Amino acid sequence: MKFVELKQNLKKQIDNVYLIYGEDRYLQDKSIEMIKKICIDNYIEMNQSIFTDENINIQQMLEQAQTLPFMSNFRLIIMRDCFNKLTDSEKKQIKDYIKSPVKTTIFIMCVNEKNEFLKSLHSSVNEVDCSFMDAKTLGMLVPIMLKEYGKQITTNALNKLLEYCSYDLGRIENEIKKLSIISSSDVITPDEVEINVAKTIDYEVYILANAICEKDTEYAIRLYEHILAKKGSTQYILSTLATFMRRYFYLHATKSDKQLCLNTFKITDYIMQVNISKSNNLKKGALMNCLNKILETDYEIKAGKQTENNAMYNLILYLTTKL
């Protein structure tokens, strides 16, 4: 099931084994929090055990899973980000436990991406998909979140909010809280989002990449100076810019394989479509040359052959004329 379905599902039933997977760490944390809230009604610290890559001990974990909860309905066992180092024997122990889990224990496995072992558990666990949400899903969810604060939002304001937060639900939630306090009206407007929502540096570098693709040298330089003034380091701007250009290149080369693009870049379907639209206007050879120029600029800065500012000005001038 999708993350957005978990709350309703928990009202109907509580399963003994959950597999929470997907790239969105915020959604993973929220899923665990919802399950915990339903399951543990007393003495959280005494009824919760968390095993990670640093402290994993399968024997100890299974012993705790078979221990009765202390003055609570359930005990919670969380196994997180430690599935690639399991031995075959340990995998078998986990599989055996899942076949007959203790009824008073909720066992949660949490991971960014399922490996073959976790895929093999599909029929024995309740899966919660915490992949990045697409624009359509966020577009439905954000108004619901705002409704809890007695607020609504216009379509244009909603689109701005999503873009400025880079479709990161954790940031969106924080900005919603802020907007709900600041806004004096019942409906949040685009101007209120523009003034009050902090744009991520990633988003601003994306705008810089767009300006470069549109060959607007003057605007691109202004954007670079603006981002740098907001404490975005030159190296970070350079690496993020390289990420966008690399994405444009591969989308141009593999746009016929939608799933490959989504899996490779870990981006939402909406962002992929926007990027494809941009990359359609570019030439593959020019993009490759620009990527090489970015790498060359990075080397020249680190080798002391150019100052950071001179290197970036020269890079922007090159990119806006060669793309």
Per-residue model confidence as pLDDT tens digits over 255-290 = 656 666 666 666 555 566 666 666 666 777 888 888
Would you say 32 and 129 are in contact if contact means Cβ atoms under 8 Å apart?
Answer: no
Would you say 143 and 153 are in contact if contact means Cβ atoms under 8 Å apart?
Answer: yes
Could you tell me where the beta strands, DSSP code E, fall in 43-170?
48-51, 75-80, 105-111, 126-129, 152-153
Side-chain-facing half-sphere of 105: CA atoms under 13 Å = 21
The rounded distance, in Å, linking the Cα atoms of 251 and 245 is 10
pLDDT band at 127 (very low <50, low <70, confident <90, very high): very high
Q: Which helix (H) or strand (E) holds 21?
A: strand 17-21
User: Average pLDDT, stretch 223-237?
Assistant: 83
Query: What is the per-residue pLDDT for 234?
Result: 87
pLDDT band at 44 (very low <50, low <70, confident <90, very high): confident
Would you say 150 and 186 are in contact if contact means Cβ atoms under 8 Å apart?
Answer: yes
How far apart, in Å, are the Cα atoms of 37 and each of 29, 76, 134? 12, 11, 27
Query: What is the per-residue pLDDT for 274?
Result: 60
User: Average pLDDT, stretch 31-59?
Assistant: 88
How far apart, in Å, are the Cα atoms of 18 and each of 93, 114, 131, 211? 17, 13, 15, 45
Location of each CATH 3.40.50.300 domain in the chain: 3-129
Helices (H) and strands (E) in the chain, counts: 16, 7
Query: What is the per-residue pLDDT for 158?
Result: 93
Token code pair at residue 275: 């990027």
Query: Quick check: 28 pLDDT over 70?
Result: yes
Instruction: Say which DSSP state 217 is in.
Output: H
pLDDT band at 110 (very low <50, low <70, confident <90, very high): very high
Percent of the chain scoring above 70 in pLDDT: 90
Which of 279, 121, 141 lies closest to 213 in space, CA to CA?
279
Alpha helix positions (H), 108-200: 116-119, 135-147, 155-164, 169-182, 190-196
Handedness of CA 311, 306, 240, 285 (dihedral sign): positive
Query: What is the per-residue pLDDT for 184?
Result: 84
Q: Which residues of 95-133 are buried (b: 16+ CB within 10 A; e: fewer)?
A: eebbeebbebbbbbbbbeebeeebeebeeebbbbbbbbb
DSSP strand pairing (48-51 vs 75-80): parallel
Location of each CATH 1.20.272.10 domain in the chain: 201-322
Tens digit of each residue's pLDDT (9 = 90 or more) over 159-198: 889 888 878 788 888 899 989 988 888 999 999 998 888 7
Would you say 250 and 236 are in contact if contact means Cβ atoms under 8 Å apart?
Answer: no
Query: 14 Cβ partners below 8 Å, 6+ apart?
Result: 35, 38, 39, 74, 106
| 3-class state of residue 79 by DSSP | strand
pTM to 2 decimal places: 0.64
User: Average pLDDT, stretch 129-150?
Assistant: 88
Q: Does domain 135-196 have CATH number 3.30.1330.10?
A: no
Query: What is the per-residue pLDDT for 260?
Result: 67
Mean pLDDT of the chain: 86
Instruction: Say which DSSP state 2 is in.
Output: B
Look up the CATH number of domain 3-129: 3.40.50.300
What one-letter code names the amino acid at 6? L
Query: What is the per-residue pLDDT for 33?
Result: 92
Look up the CATH number of domain 201-322: 1.20.272.10
